[in-house]
């Protein structure tokens, strides 16, 4: 009797251990599905797109002839839109983060703002496009311009920057603030001389992740009515003659990298799809580089800071 | 004032007339207040954004529903807003959205959960350190690139297995969408599981439980509220995804729940209309706001459900 019990228990233990090992294998395989998909995606882009990548590809306008077409107007457009997005989203996001962490009283207004930010992060990006179409394009009369697109993407990535700023600020120990107040610093002096410099790296990480997301966004920009075929550049923001800076480019029509890629992907000819792969390759490299930089920065940050 | 200015301050400030010191203090207070209000204004931008979204969607939809009765919108089985014989049955677009989302979630939820459990409970330290950035990168790939991948890589691959599959279909778009969502589900679930205190695992191991038993019966139930919010986020991602569907699922309105057919989703329809040039204020222009409102209500319901779930199942340690 006792002997059979021992056998039964041993069998049970063995079967439990088999389950354990089986799940470890299953988990690893699941992880590999993700990794292999990424490898397949990257290889597909590289194999089909790399032959098209040349100096001309970056310096040519889109064309009806696939072999002469390039992404000049697309990357210039993307750069200018990102410039507007960063200029708007970073100050607003950092200011909101600082307000919520350092100033906000515990009252219903703060609660409303916090719930709002959480909800905004879950709003589909195309809804931001509809907002921009109704508000920026028609209500404010900004038209289908670089300014409209930049503002739209700024609103879209605002929650990312706010959350990153708050996390960075929250990791600063209270004693830093107390030290500053003890020396007679005002609240703003404490924030501008201590809180902001110490959280700068964390904020930078959030900014890069936000911009990496914005640069790949297609849907909201299509919704505001960006053109898919642009064979000219916006007026240059900087000129040699006075007044040196001009802002005409803000109201110029434009296209961006993902829209150019979408345009080429939806054509049936294989030659254009090769162009799409090349544009996609550039886009993937750009977002990977930005995300990689952010991950590396965060890693460095975690390693170097000891309060 | 005098009570504060003691010691070294007194000798330093005694040459400054009292009045100037007071105005200095007042201007300092004014400046502090001014900065605080500026910062608060910045924080309120997010509230204004929400209000603006709701106002724009509702005001344009009201105009739309004056011409199309709500009942027809909900029950009509045809979606032909740009034809002479116009029908506005949102069901048609909703079926595409639901079918593609179901395909995506059927892939993303099991895969994401297994990856999360593996990374949190089973994986050696080095595997986790390498895998997490990899997953993050996968989540950072632009959706238009996934769209290209679905149309020109996954669809031809699936056509080898299922020869009758059309060039545009919900299946390949849904599969790729699922892969896109896996990193979100996995990383949020994993964060939730990592937050479960070590002592609970140790208690379970001390009772002779294996890692698999501990993961399934101790860690997952304890982290359930976090895992649930990961699922909810996955659902709202799937429902709101646009470019993969616009590229790979075709833009033909089709009332179907069969993933091997082409169909338009709510989001793909908005893109299709935006690509053409509809005059501002026309009925076609207003349909995209009605469609957007439907989408927004759908994701809002998900978010609220997630919030309630989190509150109901939150475990405090």
If one counts every other C-beta atom within 10 angstroms of the C-beta of residue A221, the result is 30
Looking at the fold, whether A101 and A245 belong to one and the same domain comes out as yes
Q: Are residues A17 and A118 in the same domain?
A: no
A69 shares its domain with A42: no
pLDDT at residue A307 in the model = 60
Number of other CB atoms surrounding residue B41 within 10 Å: 14
pLDDT (tens digit, 9 = 90+) per residue, A207-237?
999 999 999 999 999 988 777 677 777 777 7
For residues A44 and A133, state if they share a domain: no
Given B43, B118, B275, which is nearest A30 (Cβ)? Answer: B118
Tell me the C-alpha distance between B41 and A99, whole Å: 9
Count up the domains in chain A and report the number: 2
What distances in angstroms separate CA A38 from CA B6, B119, B138, B144, B271, one per listed residue?
67, 18, 7, 15, 26
Does the beta-carbon distance from B119 to A117 stay under 8 Å?
no
Looking up tokens 């939150």 gives B314
Whether residue A60 sits in one domain with residue A21: no
Closest alpha carbon to A77 in A223, A224, A230: A230
CA distance A84 to chain B (A): 17
Q: With cut-offs at 50, 70 and 90, classify the pLDDT of residue A242.
A: low
Spell out the residues 6+ positions from residue B59 whose beta carbon is closer than 8 angstroms to its own.
A134
pLDDT band at B2, cuts 50/70/90?
very low
Dihedral over Cα of B244, B249, B251, B254: its sign: negative
Same domain for A122 and A31? no
pLDDT band of residue A94 (cuts 50, 70, 90) is very high
pLDDT of residue A122: 83
Query: What secondary structure, in 3-state letters, does A176-217 show?
Result: HHHHHHHCCCCHHHHHHHHHHHHHHHHHHHHHHHHHHHHHHC
For residue A287, the chain B residues in CB contact (below 8 A) are: 140-142
Cβ-Cβ contacts under 8 Å, B187 against chain A: none
Closest Cα in chain A to B297: A123
A8 lies in the same domain as A137: no
* Contact at CB, B46 and A159, closer than 8 angstroms: yes
Whether the per-residue pLDDT at B7 is higher than 50: the answer is no
pLDDT in tens, A139-150: 888 888 899 999
The confidence score (pLDDT) of residue A244 equals: 66
Other beta carbons less than 10 A from residue A25's beta carbon: 11
Residue B29 DSSP SS3: helix
- A14 with A98, same domain: the answer is no
Q: Are residues A37 and A84 in the same domain?
A: no
CB spacing of A130 vs B57 below 8 angstroms: yes
Q: Which residues of chain B does A196 touch, with a Cβ-Cβ cutoff of 8 Å? A: none
User: Mean pLDDT score of chain B, rounded to an integer?
Assistant: 86
Residue by residue, DSSP assigns B184-221 as HHHHHHHHHHHTS-HHHHHHHHHTT--HHHHIIIIIHH
pLDDT in tens, A181-206: 999 899 999 999 999 998 988 899 99
pLDDT at A297: 85
| ipTM value for the complex | 0.88
Contact residues for B58 (Cβ-Cβ < 8 A; gap 6+) = B293
B210 contacts A20 by C-beta, under 8 angstroms: yes
Q: Is B173 buried (19+), middle (13-18) or exposed (0-12) by CB count in 10 A?
A: buried
Please, are residues A130 and B52 in contact by the beta-carbon 8 Å criterion? no
Disruptive mutation site among A82, A218, A267, A284 for chain B (greatest number of B CBs within 10 Å)? A218
Compute the count of residue pairs across chains A and B with CB atoms less than 8 Å apart. Answer: 260
Give the residue from A270, A296, A38, A104 showing the smallest Cα distance to B183.
Answer: A38
Q: Which of A15-19, A152-156, B140-144, B300-304 has the lowest mean pLDDT?
A: B300-304
CA distance A236 to chain B (A): 27
A24 and A157 share one domain = no
The reported pLDDT for the residue numbered A164 is 92
pLDDT over 90 at A153, yes or no: yes
Q: Touching check for B296 and chain A: CB below 8 Å?
A: yes
User: Who has greater pLDDT, A250 or B294?
Assistant: B294
Residue finishing a domain among A51, A70, A88? A51
Which residue, among A197, A206, A169, has the nearest Cα to A298 in the 3D structure? Answer: A206
Range of the structural domain that residue A26 is part of: 2-51
The average confidence (pLDDT) of chain A is 87
Choosing from A51, A71, A89, the residue where a domain stops is A51
DSSP secondary-structure letter at B118?
Answer: I
How many of the other CB atoms lie within 10 Å of CB of A55? 8
Query: Cβ distance A124 to B238 under 8 Å?
Result: no
Q: Same domain for A284 and A164?
A: yes
The mean-pLDDT minimum among B34-43, B73-82, B144-153 falls in: B73-82
Cα–Cα distance, A118 to A121 (Å, whole number): 5
Same domain, A152 and A271: yes
Chain B residues close to A261, C-beta within 8 Å = 144-145, 148
Helices A196-216 & A72-98 angle (0-180, nearest 10): 140
Distance in Å, alpha carbon of A230 to nearest chain B alpha carbon: 14
> In sequence order, which residues have a C-beta less than 8 Å from that of residue B50 and are 6 or more positions away?
A116, A119, A120
Tokens encoding A229: 């075929």
| CATH number of the domain to which A126 belongs | 1.10.3720.10
Could you say which DSSP state residue A172 is in? Answer: S
Q: What values do phi and psi take at B79, rounded to 5?
A: -130, 95
Whole-angstrom distance, CA of residue B152 vs CA of residue A262? 13
Percent of all residues in chain A with a pLDDT value above 70, rounded to a whole number = 94
């Amino acid at each position: 009797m006792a002997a059979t019990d021992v056998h039964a228990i041993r069998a049970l233990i063995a079967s439990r251990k088999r389950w354990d090992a089986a799940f470890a294998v299953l988990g690893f395989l699941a992880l590999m599905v993700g990794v292999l998909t990424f490898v397949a995606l990257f290889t597909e882009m590289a194999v089909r797109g790399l032959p098209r990548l040349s100096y001309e590809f970056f310096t040519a306008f889109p064309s009806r002839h696939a072999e002469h077409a390039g992404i000049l107007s697309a990357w210039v457009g993307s750069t200018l839109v990102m410039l507007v997005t960063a200029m708007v989203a970073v100050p607003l996001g950092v200011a909101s983060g600082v307000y919520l962490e350092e100033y906000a009283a515990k009252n219903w207004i703060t609660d409303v703002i916090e719930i709002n930010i959480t909800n905004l992060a879950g709003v589909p990006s195309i809804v931001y496009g509809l907002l921009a179409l109704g508000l920026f394009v028609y209500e404010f009369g900004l038209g289908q311009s670089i300014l409209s697109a930049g503002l739209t993407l700024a609103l879209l990535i605002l929650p990312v920057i706010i959350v990153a700023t708050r996390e960075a600020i929250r990791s600063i120990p209270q004693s830093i603030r107390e030290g500053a107040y003890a020396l007679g610093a005002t609240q703003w002096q404490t924030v501008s001389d201590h809180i902001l410099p110490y959280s700068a790296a964390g904020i930078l990480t959030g900014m890069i992740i936000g911009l990496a997301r914005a640069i790949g966004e297609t849907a909201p920009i299509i919704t505001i009515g960006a053109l898919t075929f642009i064979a000219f550049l916006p007026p240059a923001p900087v000129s040699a003659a006075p007044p040196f800076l001009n802002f005409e480019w803000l109201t110029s029509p434009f296209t961006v990298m993902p829209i150019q890629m979408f345009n080429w992907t939806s054509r049936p000819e294989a030659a254009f799809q090769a162009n799409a792969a090349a544009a996609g390759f550039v886009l993937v490299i750009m977002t990977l580089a930005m995300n990689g930089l952010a991950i590396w920065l965060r890693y460095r940050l975690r390693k170097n800071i000891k309060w | 004032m005098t009570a504060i200015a003691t010691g070294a301050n007194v000798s330093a400030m005694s040459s400054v007339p009292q009045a100037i010191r007071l105005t200095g203090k007042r201007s300092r207070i004014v400046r502090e207040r001014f900065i605080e209000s500026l910062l608060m204004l910045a924080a309120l931008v997010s509230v204004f954004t929400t209000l603006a979204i709701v106002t724009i969607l509702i005001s344009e939809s009201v105009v739309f529903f004056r011409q199309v009765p709500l009942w027809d919108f909900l029950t009509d089985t045809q979606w032909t807003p740009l034809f002479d014989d116009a029908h506005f049955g949102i069901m048609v677009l909703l079926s595409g959205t639901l079918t593609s989302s179901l395909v995506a979630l059927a892939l993303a939820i099991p895969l994401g959960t297994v990856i999360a459990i593996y990374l949190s409970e089973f994986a050696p330290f080095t595997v986790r350190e390498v895998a997490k950035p990899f997953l993050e990168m996968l989540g950072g790939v632009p959706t238009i690139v996934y769209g290209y991948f679905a149309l020109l890589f996954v669809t031809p691959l699936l056509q080898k297995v299922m020869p009758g599959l059309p060039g545009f279909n919900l299946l390949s778009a849904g599969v790729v969408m699922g892969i896109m969502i896996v990193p979100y589900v996995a990383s949020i679930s994993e964060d939730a599981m990592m937050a479960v205190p070590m002592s609970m695992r140790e208690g379970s191991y001390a009772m002779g439980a294996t890692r698999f038993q501990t993961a399934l019966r101790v860690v997952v139930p304890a982290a359930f509220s976090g895992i649930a919010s990961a699922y909810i986020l996955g659902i709202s991602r799937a429902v709101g995804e646009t470019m993969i569907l616009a590229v790979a699922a075709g833009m033909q309105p089709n009332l179907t729940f069969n993933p091997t057919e082409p169909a338009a989703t709510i989001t793909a329809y908005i893109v299709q209309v935006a690509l053409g040039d509809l005059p501002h204020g026309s009925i076609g222009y207003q349909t995209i706001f009605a469609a957007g409102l439907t989408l927004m209500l759908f994701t809002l319901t998900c978010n609220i459900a997630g919030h309630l779930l989190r509150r109901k199942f939150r475990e405090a340690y």
